[in-house]
Chain A
């Protein structure tokens, strides 16, 4: 016993209490764990999409299915989705800047960048609403696929089913991210974080928002590019 006690006094373990072994607060660690589990949810969806695609003969060409841009009547593949991608990247950047401003205890900048992030999220959601509406009027919906395979053969409904399920699930994440950011904005304006002495809550909201951007990187590639 005396021996082990001596060991402890010699070199206190990071895990023996009194300190934070990961040097992150509890909430942030739990946010990371949540995002890890959420990435497996999205992974499950995207991999089932990939599996179905690998098991199917022929698949519709995304450049034919998603070829419209609002205000342009002609064929414009990849254009609209690139715009959506850049909107999400930029809103992610403004979120990092908000987190950074929070670390510097700069309330004015936190408010400014949070508003920009929320705006980016709302614009992205509007773009998605436009796209869904357009596709619906083309006759695409869950259980209805008007697009032939890339070689003109009979396609399955899996194409639209997976598209609407996965972009819908992602859009729902964007929506909840916007809600979280609005709550953060209200809390900042009410001086909640100033009273606490830190803006760590913004950091957790930021992690969630970046995750939404991260998932879009995968959705964008898997549905529109390949």
Chain B
């Protein structure tokens, strides 16, 4: 009977002889690490905010942010979800299928990149079209918005997109 109980609970029926204080200290340590990593991510986010979108340094910082993201994910899975303290076979059962993500990400992002390049080559008009500034419809709203106030898409003048937009329209006016 006790054997059956053991089977049902995977041998975790009775409280182990663990050091409660040590476990709690580990929890707070990981919390601290997660917070620090998040703050670093945010600092990098603020750092790269004014940089041009397609600059190399911005791509590099984005890569660093991605690495920090995976680091955080490791802490959550290993310590909060306790996977690190499980049996090795159990860890492998969860970890090995995740290798599929390597293929999943590289294949699909590569596919997207290749689609963009091929389309730019086959359809140059598409690239030209993508250089046009965004038109902000004055009165034409979309479905689902009942109140007329909502139709006016007020972009605050301070926002870079609006500034860029007005800059582009200004330059086209000058060209004319």
What residues make up the interface of A, taking CB atoms closer than 8 Å to B? 18-26, 28-29, 32, 36, 39-40, 43, 47-48, 50-61, 63-64, 67, 74-75, 77-78, 82, 85-86, 89-90, 92-93, 95-97, 100, 103-105, 137-139, 141, 143-144, 146-155, 197-198, 200, 206-207, 210-211, 213-214, 217-218, 221, 224-226
Contacts and interface: CB of A to CB of B under 8 A. Distances in A.
Interface of B: 3, 6-16, 18, 20, 23-24, 27-28, 31, 34-35, 38, 41-42, 44-46, 49, 53, 62, 65-66, 69, 72-73, 76-77, 80-81, 86-87, 89-90, 93-94, 97-98, 100-101, 104-105, 108-109, 111-113, 115-116, 119-120, 126-127, 129-136, 142, 144-145, 150-151, 153, 155-156, 158-162, 164-165, 167-168
Contact of A138 (B14, B153, B161): B153
Contacts of B109: 47, 50-51, 54
Contact of A86 (B35, B111, B113): B35
Contacts of B98: 36, 39
A78 B43 CA distance: 10
21 contacts: A18-B7, A23-B12, A23-B86, A29-B90, A36-B98, A47-B104, A53-B112, A55-B111, A63-B45, A93-B27, A100-B24, A105-B15, A137-B150, A153-B132, A153-B133, A200-B12, A214-B77, A217-B73, A221-B41, A225-B41, A226-B66
B164 A152 contact: yes
B12 A92 contact: no
Nearest to B83: A32
Given A86-B38, A141-B144, A148-B133, A26 B112 contact: no
Contact of A97 (B3, B10, B27, B115): B27
A146 B153 contact: yes
B86 A89 contact: no
Nearest to B53: A150
B18 to A, nearest CB: 8
Nearest to A225: B45
Contact of A153 (B6, B77, B134): B134
B13 A153 contact: no
A15 B30 CA distance: 34
A189 B93 CA distance: 35
Given A22-B87, A51-B111, A154-B132, 13 more contacts: A23-B10, A23-B11, A24-B87, A51-B109, A54-B115, A55-B119, A63-B45, A75-B156, A100-B27, A139-B145, A148-B165, A150-B160, A225-B62
B31 to A, nearest CB: 5
A81 to B, nearest CB: 9
Contact of B27 (A53, A96, A138, A153): A96
Nearest to A106: B20
Given A23-B11, A57-B116, A64-B160, A139 B80 contact: no
B69 A217 contact: yes
A91 to B, nearest CB: 11
B116 A67 contact: no
B53 to A, nearest CB: 5
